[in-house]
Amino acid sequence: MSDDRGSGGGWWPDESEDEAAGPERAPEREPSRPPRGLESRERPRPSGRYSMFVGLAFVALIVVALLNLLGDDDAGIELERGLPLAEFAVPDALAGIDADANVAQDDCESSRNPCPEGDRRTPACQIDTEGAIRVCDLFDRPLAISFWFTRGGDCIPSQDNFDEVAGRYRGRVNFLSVDVRDDPDTVAGIVRERGWKVPVGLDRDGAVSNLYRVGVCPTIVLAYPGGIVYDSAVRAGNYSAAEIDDLVSGLLEATHEREREVR
């Protein structure tokens, strides 16, 4: 299998001072300026202590911003109810595929019509590659997607609970777990160690998490059949199995109500 990571959306798309001279003193000249981009020898350099202070202040700002993000229940994705989910395809964590996610929504990189031959690509839900998980294949039932990562947070307990709840709704609701930016071998090891049955996809370069604006772990996205957004749940902390069950049962009930209204 080829690993085409061009600009087509990720995975599989067809896919920057003079001394006095003589008896008379030479006219005074303005001090010469160093060429732009070079440092003047006369210019005082910041002390090492000052540089260290600036560096520490910068690090402190980053830490505060991260803590604010992880402590804000409203951070993360902003999905509007009733709109279609963005399409994507990810490698199965257990398939051993060295590839990034595909988030191409259409078959052309440009807006030109007809599409130039060099801009053609394969949309995420049209790839045909062994070991790929296409989100569109899960649109036949209500769908729950859990985004998680190990760096900067411990979301493993939530994923244990997510997998447990999935077993209760087998055949009625589809479940997908998506790991964001972790080492593929690490993720595969976690999946095997925990014995998860839910399919786990790898968003190795963060393309899917950027698409869904995932900023907090765990993040759970819920969708009606057909891939239509029902709701999203974001928390800087773990969800219990009972809480996840409430989310999924709410989705299932809303799906049945929606079907009754269509009739």
- Name residues whose C-beta falls within 8 Å of residue 247's C-beta, 6 or more positions apart in sequence: 144, 220, 222, 231, 233, 239
Q: Judge whether 245 lies within some domain.
A: yes
Query: Binning pLDDT at 50, 70 and 90, where does residue 11 land?
Result: low
Q: Judge whether 256 lies within some domain.
A: yes
Q: Judge whether 4 lies within some domain.
A: no
183 vs 30, more confident: 183
Burial-class residue 203 by CB neighbours within 10 Å (0-12, 13-18, 19+): buried
For position 18, what pLDDT does the model report?
43
Q: Judge whether 74 lies within some domain.
A: no
First CA to last CA distance, the chain: 45
Q: Report whether 199 contacts 177 (CB < 8 A).
A: yes
Query: Binning pLDDT at 50, 70 and 90, where does residue 53 land?
Result: very low
Tokens of 51: 């540089």
Q: Judge whether 130 lies within some domain.
A: yes
- Tens of pLDDT, residue by residue over 176-189, are 999 999 999 999 99
Q: Judge whether 255 lies within some domain.
A: yes
50 vs 175, more confident: 175
Q: Over the chain, what is the mean pLDDT?
A: 80
Q: Is the pLDDT of residue 6 over 50?
A: no
232 vs 15, more confident: 232
* Number of structural domains in the chain: 1
Q: Judge whether 11 lies within some domain.
A: no
- For residue 104, what are the domain limits? 89-262
Q: Which of 18-32, 43-57, 60-74, 127-141 has the lowest mean pLDDT?
A: 60-74
- Tens of pLDDT, residue by residue over 61-87, are 443 334 334 334 434 455 789 999 999
Q: Report whether 178 contacts 146 (CB < 8 A).
A: yes
- Tens of pLDDT, residue by residue over 157-205, are 999 999 999 999 999 999 999 999 999 999 999 999 999 999 999 999 9
Q: Is the pLDDT of residue 49 over 90?
A: no
The DSSP H or E segment spanning 111 is none
- 138: domain CATH number is 3.40.30.10
Cα separation, 106 vs 124, whole angstroms = 8
Q: Which residue has the tokens 């981009």?
A: 37
Query: Binning pLDDT at 50, 70 and 90, where does residue 220 land?
Result: very high
Portion of the chain with pLDDT greater than 90, in percent: 63
Q: Is the pLDDT of residue 114 over 90?
A: yes
Q: Average pLDDT for residues 226-235, to the nearest whole number?
A: 95
Cα separation, 90 vs 204, whole angstroms = 9
Angle at 81 between CA 11 and CA 202, to 5 degrees: 25
Cα separation, 234 vs 213, whole angstroms = 11
Q: Judge whether 98 lies within some domain.
A: yes
